[in-house]
Structure 1
Amino acid sequence: MDLYDNANLQGLLRRDLHTPLYHQLRQLLREQIQRGELRDGQQLPREEDLAKRLGISRVTVRLALAELAEEGLLVRQRGRGTRITSGRSRNPGHAGPPPLRSPLYELIDNLDTLADNTQVRLLSYQRIPPPEPVRQAFNLPADEALVSCVRVRSRHGQTFGYYSSWTRTRHPDFNAEQLARQSRIDLFRQCGLPIVRVEQKISALRVDPVPAIYLQMQPGQAVMTLERRSFDRDDQLLDLLEIQYRPDQLRYQMRLDHTPDPMESSA
């Protein structure tokens, strides 16, 4: 069966399995390439078309194709689409899953990708006045409370992220029960908390003792730390999130495209 000769492929991927959908799609495409069902040089449909046929998100398709491209089985060119190559996997002897790649562009789609393909566990939930540095960041009165929660995120049974967040909301649905069973980005949508601007800062720091326990690291080891500030329509800080990532389990990447100056092309 050639995956791309079928108009409706919904149900081909199994949502009832623990295996993430992007991993299932990557494996399916890899097998078809190796069997010759997808031929060298064959052009693939657009991401949105394939996502529609499979009944999954475009982000899930993009993640699967990106990892196949990293293995050398696909070539992706901006404006030209994606095509099959005859090259074999670059790391045929690689054991275990590759690091999860998380592009800095298309951030909201990226948050959905993490939610779809990883597991989260809520460690604590409180509605309390924040410490002074956080209060100043939100520009709050001294006695106003924020939602504080701590979570860990895992993939294939390995905890790779320790999440500590403060959120400005009084919505009753933004509670421990909801946070324990769905992603925060989905809960933001459900509670009508629009994110219109995001600022991110990535640093290399030493892991704190408590996160080190969950990340299975030694206190003081190098850890990738991300601070994400999300703002609402009034440009007020809505959410302050700090994440400590195992650097061997998650990699951030970004793509920069150069748009030639008209004067360059005419020179």
Structure 2
Amino acid sequence: MDPFTTQSLEGILRRDVHAPLYHQLQGFLRGLIERGEIGDGEQLPREEELARRLRISRVTVRQALQLLASDGLLVRQRGRGTRVVGGGARSSTIPMPLKTPLGELLHSLDTLAGNTQVRLLGWERVLPPQPVRDLFGTGPAQTLVRCVRVRSRHGQPFGYYASWTRTEHPEFNAENLAYGSRIELFRRCGIEVMKVQQTVSATRVDALAAMHLQMSTGQAVMTLDRRSFNADQQLQDLLEIQYRPDQLRYQMRMDYETDHPEASA
């Protein structure tokens, strides 16, 4: 299927997110190239044609293409257009999927953090929207920490992490969240976690997460909803992770208990 038909391009750019349109377009094109959906040496549509189909300006298209050319993914020649270099070859460099057991959760998260790289996209202490406020049971004036990060392995992004956390601790800040494990930071900041509930589902990636995961908007992702509670059953942390399905899978071990008590009448 041609990825540049008007139908294929529908909805890949969103104006209701903070990411600039050229950055969203760059992420979309990068995903096509690195997955081999645009082959080595293949020509891209001209700037004016892409602009027309996406209903954006040529300047926006040009910015996205120039960034990809700077990264060595495109070659641009006056009068000859823009073509892909190395399309599909990069797929062989994608690492094997990570295996992260659901059991022994906190230890697994520390292990994951120690073997991957994190990039902080945003941090702020703000009033949450009403649905989040309802989950935490907070009042209209109580702030939570909003954090968005991306995790990568060998330079390949695999997880888009967006969280809300109940804490006033000064060390739970952007500088500390830009490195290492949130679980370790929970310990340092005295954020008590006594129970964790997780839900795994298949969803479609939105434009902003797709851009950072180097995917196309609307592709299937594995989404994990993790809710961490303290001893009083108060929600302390709400985390949603969108995982590239080709980069990470969950493995759960269930042991059969043989020493069951016998049923009695």
Normalised to the residue count of structure 1, the TM-score between the two structures is 0.62
Number of the residue aligned with 1:181: 179
- 2:258 corresponds to: 260
Amino acid at match of 1:234: D
Alignment RMSD: 1.6
For 1:51-89, what per-residue CA distance to the aligned partner results, in whole angstroms no more than 9, with x for missing partners?
A: xxxxxxxxxxxxxxxxxxxxxxxxxxxxxxxxxxxxxxx
Equivalent in the alignment of 1:118: 116
Aligned partner of 2:168 in structure 1 is 170
SS of 1:143 mapped into structure 2: coil
Alpha-carbon shift at residue 261 of structure 1 (Å)? 5.4
Look up the SS of the partner of 1:181 in the other structure.
coil
Inter-CA distance 218–107: structure 2 relative to 1 (3 Å threshold)? same
Q: Which amino acid aligns with 1:197?
A: K
Partner of 2:58 in structure 1? none
Write out the 4+ residue segments of structure 1 that deviate beyond 2 Å after TM superposition: 94-97, 260-264
Please list, as runs of the form range in 1=range in 2, the aligned pairs for 1:35-74 lying within 5 A after superposition.
none
Classify the secondary structure of the residue corresponding to 2:178: helix
Q: What corresponds to 1:223 in structure 2?
A: 221
Partner of 2:210: 212
Unaligned runs of 5+ in 2: 1-91
1:138 aligns with one of 132, 136, 139: 136
User: Aligned equivalents of 2:202 and 2:260: distance in 1?
Assistant: 39
Of residues 243, 247, 265, the one that matches 2:241 is 243
Give the CA deviation at 1:256: 1.1
SS in 2 for 1:102: strand
Go from structure 1 to structure 2 and tell me whether the alpha carbon gap of 1:98 and 1:146 turns closer, same or farther (over 3 Å shift): same
**Counterpart residue number, 2:101:** 103
CA distance in 2, matches of 1:181, 1:160: 17
In the alignment, is the contact (CA less than 8 A) between 2:229 and 2:237 conserved in 1? yes
Deviations 1:106-149 (A, max 9, x none): 00001111111000010000000101110000011112100001
| Amino acid paired to 2:206 | D
TM superposition score normalised by structure 2? 0.62
The offset of 1:210, in angstroms, is 0.2
3-state SS in 2 of match to 1:110: helix
The answer as to whether partners of 2:144 and 2:165 remain within 8 angstroms in 1 is yes
Aligned position for 1:156: 154
Q: 1:156 to 1:207 in 2, by over 3 A?
A: same
CA distance in 1, matches of 2:228, 2:260: 36
Aligned counterparts of 2:94 and 2:229: Cα–Cα separation in 1: 37
Name the counterpart of 1:193. 191
CA shift in 2, pair 1:170/1:95, >3 Å: closer
C-alpha deviation, 1:97, in angstroms: 2.7
Contact 2:151–2:160, Cα closer than 8 Å, also in 1: yes
- The structure, 1 or 2, with the larger RCO (C-alpha pairs under 8 Å, 6+ apart) is 2
Shift of 1:260: 2.7
Do the aligned partners of residues 253 and 177 (structure 1) sit closer, same or farther apart at CA in structure 2, a change above 3 Å counting? same
Q: 1:106 corresponds to which letter in structure 2?
A: E
Identical counterparts, % of pairs: 63
Select the residue among 105, 127, 142 that pairs with 2:125. 127
| CA distance, structure 2, for counterparts of residue 190 and residue 228 of structure 1 | 20
* Residue 234 in structure 1 maps to residue 232 in structure 2: yes
